[in-house]
Structure formats: structure tokens, C-alpha cells
Amino acid sequence: MPHESISVFDMFKTGVGPSSSHTLGPWRAALRCIETIRTRSSTDQIAMVTVLLYGSLAKTGKGHGTDIAVLMGLSGEDPVTIDVNSISPKVKAIETTQQLLLGSETYIPFSIQQQVQFLYHDSLAYHPNGLSFLVETKTGEQWSETFFSIGGGFVVKEGEKGGGKGTVDLPFPVNTADDLLHWCRKTGMQISEVVLENETVWQSEAATRKGVLDIWHTMRDCIYRGCHTRGELPGGLQVRRRAFELNKKLLKDTPYSDQEGWLNAIRNGGGGFQYILDWVSCFALAVNEENASFGRVVTAPTNGAAGVIPAVLQYYIAFCEGVTEDKIINFLLTASEIGSIFKKGATISAAMGGCQAEIGVSSAMAAAGLTECMGGTQRQALMAAEIAMEHHLGLTCDPVGGLVQIPCIERNTMGAIKAITASQLALQSTPDFALVSLDKVIATMWTTALDMNSKYKETADGGLAVQIPLGLSEC
């Protein structure tokens, strides 16, 4: 029957840091506003556009670059293809000229201070991450559109439902982990195979495989950049990048000239527990330091948690046996399905559920993907996802200074290590004796999210955010 589904390419989106809900989502909302302008009239008929940011988008929007994101979206820039080094000059040009090139077509007067408004004390009922675009034409007509950034770069216009690919007829519709297990039992397929079959509704198997490998290559490139970039993160907290120094320390003076040489140097460096643990942390740090610097990352399922899945997958490639392109694809397909189940049954938005919705979900996704690649059964993969989330329940989102840095970057290392541990536990366990199912832990996560005080939901109003003086850090 018709079924709203979420594609692997919904769960994994290429974009710009530092936040999927506060940067990528508002950026995409602004692009949708441009589409509406073109449908209703044209960009050369627009006199003014004003952006209103509500709730969490207002409270942590400065640190998350929400204002920058809407400027780029209104300018018609694509978050997937934009040269990230061009963002700051483009913003500076808008500030200096007081003009914005709407939809890359028509200049309109634009004062950032007056026309991007942070409504710190106002929230919209549907979701904490709300933003409205107020549009005025040269003839005096006025209209508005309101969007909600619901996590992971998903955007819903007021009155819409969902945020995935919409209503389609899937071979194997899945809402819950039990649904997924039903199809696996009925067909004998692995989780990744079920996902691959569902993806054929939108594109060929070859296109899906290529697209998933492209996602991995973007993740891999992000790790490599982060491991080879030194300096201080933007935002004023004076947080120093650590992946560069850790990479240098672990490899000592081993020479290499490209990514393949780097990976071989890592493999040849040893296989001890501490060595591997350091590398998993280094991979995760690298991604989220890039994310904090407005770099190119993949939502997995969010930007704030973008380092967990790449770190675990890079661990698998560097330190485990039998790695093939097919297994890399299977890892990401399996992980994406776990993420979509969490999104349908709970949330992947920290503004709705705290950090359990981001690091917790990413850890569960990575645990399931790793378990399938390590030869685990479908039930063991689901068990691994459950274990990973069970030990993230209640995790708060309390970013210092509203920046995706403290504690966010280190939390990605913790999420990655927990994912590997959860996978190992599941591989050495019999799911028949497990008392807690993945569906039960998802339900628990959602009720925990509903009970959680708003101070701990990406508002920077509680926790570490009010304990650490701005401009100071322990890093």
C-alpha cells in the first residue's frame, strides 16, 4: 500500500557544517522560498525578504551559522556544491553592499541586522526549529512561508507532513524494527538487501550503489582533510583542532603522499587496543572539527553527529578483514535504515530530543552497519543498534556558546567507541535472550525526549552551556 518512506539519500546528505538542523535545514528552507518566489512571480519583482528565526534557531542560531545559511539559500547557492571557502566572502559582500543577489538572479536591498531577526523569546508550536520568510513585492503584495527544520537537514513546510521522499509504493515498507525483521525473515535477505530493493523505487541499483559510494568518498575525504588541517576553530571559544596533532603523533614520521598511502601507514602502525582506540577518536575528531569550521560533511544522520559513522566505517576499513566496496555499501545501507526507523518512531533532532537523538542515533546506526559487515545476523544488527542507543538514553544537548564544539566534537568519539562495543557485544550474544528490543528502546528514547527539560534541547540554556565562561575552554 502507499507508504511514506525515507531514502538512504535522505539520511545521508552532503552539505556544509556546523549543523544539519540549524544550518543545512534553514539553507534548504531558503532555497524552497526561492522556488515559491519563482512560481508566484519572479525574483525581479521582489522588493524585500525578511527572515524570522524562532525557538532553538534563534537561541543557538549565531553559533550554528543559521543566519549565514539563510543568506546563502536566498542567494541561490547549493549546499552540496558550493565552494566552502567562498561563503565568508559572500557574506562579507552582503554586509558591505547591503544587497543580496536573490536566487543568483536579482539584487535586492538587504540589511542583515534588520532582515534576519532572532526572536529569542518566541517559539512555534509544531517544532522548536521554526523560521518564516516574509516577502514583499514591488507592487506592495505581501506573503509569508513558514518552515520547520526537523533534524538531519529535513525540512517541512507548515501544513506538510513527513520530510522524506513522500508517499510511494515500496516493495518492503518499514516503520519499525519489527517490520524490518519481518521482511528479513520472509525473504531471507540482509537488512542492506531490503534497503537496496526499496531504493529501486527511485533509481536503479547501479545508481544507488554509486551514490552510496559517493557518500562514503565524501566522508573519507572529510576525515583526511580534518587529519591534515591545524589551527583554531571559529566562534570565539578558542578550541584548538586536535586531529592534526593526534594523526601526526600516531604516524610518527611515516611518509605518505595520498589517502591510500595514509591508510597503509595507519595499518602498518600496529593493531594494539590503545592504538586502534586512538585512531577511532582521531577519525571522529577530524570530521567534527571540519564540521565546526563550515566544512563539507555528510549528515549521518545529522551534522552534529557526523563523525560517528565515518569513524566506525574507517575503523572497519583500516583494521578489519575482508573489506570490499560491497561491504562499505552494505554498511551505509544498513545504517540508513536504522536511522530512518528512529526518525519515524522518535526524532533525530536535538532540539526535540537532546543529544540522544543525534549521537545516540548515529551510534545505533553505526553499530548495526558494522555488525552486518562483520557477519552478524539481522537480529544481531538490530540488537547492536539497541545496545548503542540504550547507553545514550537521556543524553542532553547543551552546546557551549551555541557552537557545535563543546561537548559535541568529543561526543562523536564516544559515540563511535560505543558503536564498536555494541557491535562486539551483539556479535557475541544470542538475541533470543535479549529483554529489550530496538523498538522498545526507540519508544523509551521518545518518552525521555518528551520529559526532558527544554534547557537541554539545543538551547544553550542549561548544562555545560551555562557552566563554561565564553572565551574559555578546557581543550
Confidence (pLDDT) at 373: 97
Pairs from 407-410 (Cβ < 8 Å, separation ≥ 24): 407/464, 408/288, 408/292, 408/304, 408/355, 409/239, 409/285, 409/288, 409/289, 409/292, 409/307, 410/285
Range of the domain at 205: 171-466
- Same domain for 182 and 116: no
pLDDT attached to residue 1: 38
Domain co-membership, 254 together with 116: no
How many other β-carbons are positioned within 10 Å of the β-carbon of residue 194?
A: 25
Number of domains, the chain: 2
**% of the chain exceeding 70 in pLDDT:** 96
Last residue of a domain, one of 103, 124, 157: 157
CATH value at residue 97: 3.30.1330.90
Q: For 447-456, what is the mean pLDDT?
A: 96
User: Residue 147: pLDDT above 50?
Assistant: yes
Task: Assign 362 to helix, strand or coil.
Answer: helix
pLDDT, tens digit (0-9, with 9 covering 90-100), for 194-217:
999 999 999 999 999 999 999 999
388-420: pLDDT as tens digits: 999 999 999 999 998 999 999 999 999 999 999
Are 364 and 413 members of one domain?
A: yes
DSSP state, residue 23: I
What lies within 8 Å, CB to CB, of 173 at 6+ separation is 1, 3, 5, 179
Residues 179 and 116 in one domain: no
For the segment 3-45, what is each residue's pLDDT rounded down to a tens digit? 568 999 999 999 898 988 899 999 999 999 999 999 998 999 9
- The cell for 71 is 543568506
Q: Please tell me which residue, 194 or 472, carries the higher pLDDT value.
A: 194
Q: Are residues 274 and 379 in the same domain?
A: yes
* Reported pTM: 0.91
Instruction: State mean pLDDT over 70-87.
Output: 94
- Residue 106 buriedness (CB in 10 A; 0-12 / 13-18 / 19+): middle
- Radius of gyration from C-alpha coordinates of the chain: 22
Domain boundary pick from 105, 134, 157: 157
Q: Provide the pLDDT for residue 153.
A: 86
Q: Of the residues 127, 157, 187, which one is the last residue of a structural domain? A: 157
pLDDT exceeds 90 at position 163: no
> What are φ and ψ of residue 14, in 5° steps?
-80, 135
Residue 286 pLDDT level (bands cut at 50, 70, 90): very high
Q: Are 199 and 233 found together in one domain? A: yes
Burial class (CB in 10 A: 0-12, 13-18, 19+), 203: middle
Same domain as 234, residue 127: no
Residues 346 and 455 in one domain: yes
Residue 472 lies in a domain: no
pLDDT for 220 beyond 90: yes
Residue 33, Cα to own-chain centre: how many angstroms? 22
Question: pLDDT grade, residue 160 (50/70/90)?
Answer: confident
DSSP bridge partners of 14? 298
Average of per-residue pLDDT across 236-248: 96
